[in-house]
Structure 1
Amino acid sequence: MLTSIVAFIGAAFLIAMVPGPSTVVIVRRAVVNGRRTGMATVLGNECGVLLWGLAAALGLSALLLASQVAYDVIRIAGAAVLVWMGARALWQARRAGGPDAEPAETAEVSCRRAYWQGLITNFANPKAGVFAVSFLPQFVPQGAPVLLTLLAFSVIWAVVDLVWYLPLVWLAGRMGGVLRRQSVRRRMEQISGAVLVGLGLRLAAQS
């Protein structure tokens, strides 16, 4: 069991280091709204990880492998979410500094909204479900209770993700004073918006 846990932690770190939609959303929130909001996004993302792990443990995410329709429904919904968030970022970048600029969000609203963005971004990605149901069981040692072991691995997966994203949020918050300047923030919104739209279109186009 100890060997399986060590191997799983190493593999989970490698997976966490691969940038994706969650990384873009987390870094954008940390830069635009600060570390507190960035952490709220991370917590939402990790709740999504736990939900996918729970679905894998219960066999629910296996439906994504067995049903093309179920996979496509989540894929299109996830792509629409990414495109919507990217388009919103591009729109905010266009309005930044103008007379009709949107008012700044309060910390409470921003954290709540950031949490849901992190959760939805993770949970609306069907690849995460396919990954969970195909990745987690490989590390269950022979003779171990499958359900409890998968649940434990899901928690470890979320903790590894959290450990990886904490330095990113800290670094983004550290640089926030510079990055939140109007011209830099506008460019940041443009880049992150374009990346999110591109990731959404890519997800929609893939089978």
Structure 2
Amino acid sequence: MLIQLFAATGVLAVLTVVPGPDMAVVTKRAVSSGWQDGLRTVGGITAGLMVWGVLAVAGLAAVLAASATAYTVFALAGAAYLVFLGFQALLQNRRGRFQAPAATLTPPRGNPWRTGLVSNVFNPKIAVFYTGLLPARAPTGLSAHSGMTLLVLVHAMLTAVWLGGYVMLLSKARSLFEKPAVRRGMDRATGTVLIGFGLQVATTQP
């Protein structure tokens, strides 16, 4: 059972570190308003994983993953939110809010924890991932529900540690990101990436 758990953890670790919408959302928040809001965003993302974990264990995520209509509705909602965040970053960039000292910069609107939660809850790929991959990786020495619950907790922990460490790494380079030219470049980059991820989610089939 331990060998199966280690193997599943390795797969989850690889999937966790691959850049995606979560990393783009965290980057935008941490660079714009500091590591505290960055960690709050990570907390929201982790909570979103727990929500999907509960749904997966209850069998509801499988219904979403199997229903093309439900998947499409969730995909479009999640895509719209990511595109909204992307345009928000680009709009901030266009307004040129980078001339004042960093301490006086207006942070992005919205609660960072809620931003992370919503961006993750409205990601239907998590439903497909939790119902398609996790059951096959669950340790055979445990019941189906217990094995799934364990892997969801492992994934949430890996996500929190990875993104939390990433936020703290960004904070070490805070002085670099405070420079107006760098801030403009980061907002352009994260805004474009978020819009790109949103369009990808909207056009990807289950």
Calculate the TM-score normalised by the size of structure 2.
Answer: 0.91
Unaligned runs of 5+ in 2: none
- Divergent runs of 4+, >6 A: none
Matches within 5 A, 1:142-157: 142=140, 144-157=142-155
Match for 1:114 among 97, 112, 115? Answer: 112
Q: Is the 8 A contact 2:26 2:38 kept in 1?
A: yes
- Aligned pair count reads 201
Listed as ranges, the gaps of 5+ residues in structure 1 are: none
Q: Deviations over 1:111-138 (max 9, x none)?
A: x711111111111110111001111111
> 1:44 deviation in Å?
0.6
Cα deviation, residue 103, structure 1: 6.2
1:24-103 matches, cutoff 5 A? 24-97=24-97
- CA deviation vs aligned residue, 1:130-174 (integer Å, no higher than 9, x gap): 001111111223352211221121111100111211221111111
Deviation per CA, 1:19-76, whole angstroms, max 9, x where unpaired?
Answer: 1000111112111111111100111111111111111111111012321110000000
1:15 is matched with 15
Write the distance in 2 (CA, Å) between the matches of 1:131 and 1:26.
21
AA at the equivalent of 1:104: T
- Distance in 1, matches of 2:70 and 2:191, equals 27
Contact map agreement 2:5 2:139 (CA 8 A) in 1: no
Alignment check: 8 A CA contact 1:90 1:193 kept? yes
Indicate whether 1:176 and 2:174 are aligned. Answer: yes
- The alignment partner of 1:156 has SS state of helix
Paired residue for 1:104?
A: 106
Please tell me whether residue 189 in structure 1 is matched to residue 184 in structure 2.
no
The answer on 1:204 being equivalent to 2:206 is: no
Asked whether the 8 Å contact 2:140–2:147 carries over to 1, the reply is: no
Instruction: Give, in whole Å, the separation in 2 of the partners of 1:82 and 1:183.
Output: 24
Deviates more, 1:1-10 or 1:126-135: 1-10
Cα distance in 2, alignment partners of residues 22 and 150 from structure 1: 22
Larger mean Cα displacement after TM superposition, 69-78 or 144-153: 144-153
What is the root-mean-square deviation of aligned Cα atoms in Å? 2.0
Alignment partner for residue 159 of structure 2, among 158, 161, 173? 161
- What percent of counterpart residues are identical? 35
For the 8 Å contact 2:98–2:180, the answer to whether it is kept is no
Going from structure 1 to structure 2, the CA distance change for 1:180 and 1:98 (only over 3 Å counts) comes to closer
